[in-house]
Amino acid sequence: MKPGRRAFFLPRMLSDAPWPAFCQRLARMARGQVSDETPAAGAPGRARLAVEREEDVYHACALCREFGVLLVQPGARETALPPDRAWLRLDVSLLAAIEKIDERAGIAVVQAGCPMGELRSRLDGTSWRWHAGADHEPIGSWLMRTRGWQPGRCRESGLEAALVMLADGSFEQLGPFGTDSTRPLRSAAASRLVSELFQLATDPAVAAMLEEPVWAAGYRIDALVPRPDAKDAAPVPNPAHLLLGSEGTLTWAGRFRLRLRDVGAQPPVLAVRERDDRTSGRETPADRLDATVKATFDAGGVFPSSVV
């Protein structure tokens, strides 16, 4: 940290009040700029962190757990943010690099804040394209908000793998989980998480929803029981697909490996654009599965919750 860079934000002594102490400690630990956006004295705290490196998110997560502050990332649904709870928004616009384009394999590795238009520009003149989303929208936000992949076919999203930070602060790469996988999970926490998710995927409700034309749940537990089709007779489970449409409620994702599409290929068809909030008041099997997935990833409520 450069001396004096945040002198305007940091008094000589840390405040004893929880919210100022949270902001001051975050500003000392993170490289990115911290802005206190609390609208008025006495209101629940609101702050923003312009993330400059993945370690910034690690420090933010640790402080959010300590102070009970909600960690909010791009793609979060506003209605999932409780107005009476303090929260910290992560701005990942500085994490916008295209780290790799493999033209032979049709693979791109991008940071979460990379605008889709930037990726398309890099693909000009190649035999590949990225199939969806507005040019200005960051790829991470689009993946987190977009729903409607047909049951058992989350691979049509193009997401192959993701570097994520779990709610306990551990970093993990989630990706294909078949017999040919060679990358082991890094932590015992991630191993337990994936094991519990695979167990949940055996729930009879999952098998029933796989037979429906539209995936009924919010979270894509069907990522672990993919269905074959004419192009892929033996698809493998992929825990990264649980991020699709999750609205930033399960993990923080900082980097994605994407499978590009041939220039002449048709884009995938989404069964629905967005899932409506459930208002019946009755718990369905989909509700139960969603609640279990959320609790498995984030029992402490570090991230927002869209579970009704």
Whether the per-residue pLDDT at 2 is higher than 80: the answer is no
Model pLDDT, residue 234: 86
Q: Report the alpha-carbon distance of residue 214 to residue 274 in Å, rounded.
A: 11
Mean pLDDT, all residues of the chain? 90
For residues 280-288, average pLDDT: 83
Question: The pTM is what?
Answer: 0.89
Q: Which amino acid is at 246?
A: S
pLDDT digits (tens, 9 = 90+) for 216-257: 999 999 999 999 887 777 899 999 999 999 999 999 999 999
Model pLDDT, residue 222: 98
- For the segment(s) 98-295, the CATH number from 3.40.50.620, 3.40.50.300, 3.30.465.10, 3.90.1170.50 is 3.30.465.10
Domain ranges, ordered by start, for the chain: 18-91, 98-295
Its sign, for the CA torsion 209, 211, 214, 219, is: positive
pLDDT digits (tens, 9 = 90+) for 127-146: 999 988 899 999 999 999 99
Q: Report the alpha-carbon distance of residue 110 to residue 122 in Å, rounded.
A: 12
Helix (H) or strand (E) run with residue 268 in it: none
Q: Report the alpha-carbon distance of residue 237 to residue 165 in Å, rounded.
A: 20
Q: Report the alpha-carbon distance of residue 285 to residue 50 in Å, rounded.
A: 39
pLDDT digits (tens, 9 = 90+) for 90-115: 999 999 999 999 999 999 999 999 99
Q: Report the alpha-carbon distance of residue 173 to residue 2 in Å, rounded.
A: 31
Q: What is the CATH number of domain 18-91?
A: 3.30.43.10
261-262 and 171-174 beta bridge pairing: unpaired
pLDDT band at residue 272 under the 50/70/90 scheme: low
Instruction: Decide which of 291 and 265 is more confident.
Output: 291
Residue 170 CB neighbours (<10 A) = 17
